């Protein structure tokens, strides 16, 4: 896989961001303290489009339980659609021994439309698949501080080999 800076016409001195991770929060009573971590990158090893909900681990286990009691993970894959729930369970030979189990369901190909279909609809005057203007403006308001930090050089660019999983620390779920 070719690195972005090795593509024809790309100025490697420009320091273009090809990888990003940002954590945001929703300041409402329901979502207070819950980080939403968004990741995106070019030339990564896998083409993954998913939503991953990482639950808090159990605060207290009754005496005697041993094993992995980390938080459950609910994962929604975006095309082909797949739903996975990873949880800690007990049972088997030792009812106090916890182990991770995964429940999953393949939901088939979703109706997610690609960019070409969305752009063609917009050019035809059909805004059904478009984001409302107020939502688009709110998204830019949220992300602008990140863009400003990049411009000022507050956030160092991390190098990673094309075709890899990204820089160190990008394996597994994001952390807040």
Rounded distance between C-alpha atoms, residue 122 and residue 129, angstroms: 8
pLDDT of residue 144: 94
What the block records as the tokens of 122 is 């917009």
State if pTM tops 0.75.
Answer: no
Q: What are φ and ψ of residue 86, in 5° steps?
A: -105, 120
Rounded percentage of the chain residues whose pLDDT exceeds 90 = 12
Task: Work out the pLDDT band at 175, boundaries 50, 70, 90.
Answer: very low
pLDDT beyond 60 at 138: yes
Rg (CA), the chain: 21
Q: What is the mean pLDDT of residues 43-66?
A: 80
Q: What average pLDDT does the segment 72-86 reach?
A: 83
Q: pLDDT at position 113, please?
A: 61
Domain residue spans of the chain: 1-46+113-163, 48-111
DSSP characters for the chain?
Answer: ---GGGSTT--GGG----EEEEEEE--STTTTT-EEEEEEESSBSS---EEEEEPPPPS-PPTT-EE--PPPEEEEETTTEEEEEEEEEEETTEEEEEEEEEEEEEEES--PPPHHHHHHHHHTT--TTSPPHHHHHHHHHHHHHHHHHHHHT-SPPPP--TTBS-STT-SSS---
Asked whether the predicted pLDDT for residue 77 surpasses 60, the reply is yes
């Amino acid at each position: 896989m070719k690195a972005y800076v090795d593509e024809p016409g790309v100025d490697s001195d420009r320091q273009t961001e090809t990888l990003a991770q940002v954590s945001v929060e929703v300041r409402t009573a329901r979502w207070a303290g819950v980080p939403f971590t968004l990741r995106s990158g070019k030339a990564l090893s896998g083409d993954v489009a998913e939503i991953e909900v990482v639950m808090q681990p159990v605060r207290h286990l009754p005496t005697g339980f041993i094993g992995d009691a980390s938080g459950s993970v609910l994962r929604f894959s975006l095309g082909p659609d797949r739903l996975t729930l990873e949880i800690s369970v007990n049972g088997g030979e030792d009812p106090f021994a916890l182990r991770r189990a995964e429940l999953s369901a393949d939901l088939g190909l979703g109706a997610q439309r690609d960019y070409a279909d969305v752009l063609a609809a917009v050019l035809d005057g059909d805004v059904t698949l478009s984001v409302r203007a107020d939502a688009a403006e709110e998204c830019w308001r949220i992300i602008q501080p990140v863009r400003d930090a990049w411009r000022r050089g507050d956030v160092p660019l991390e190098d990673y080999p094309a075709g890899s999983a990204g820089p160190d620390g990008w394996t597994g779920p994001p952390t807040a």
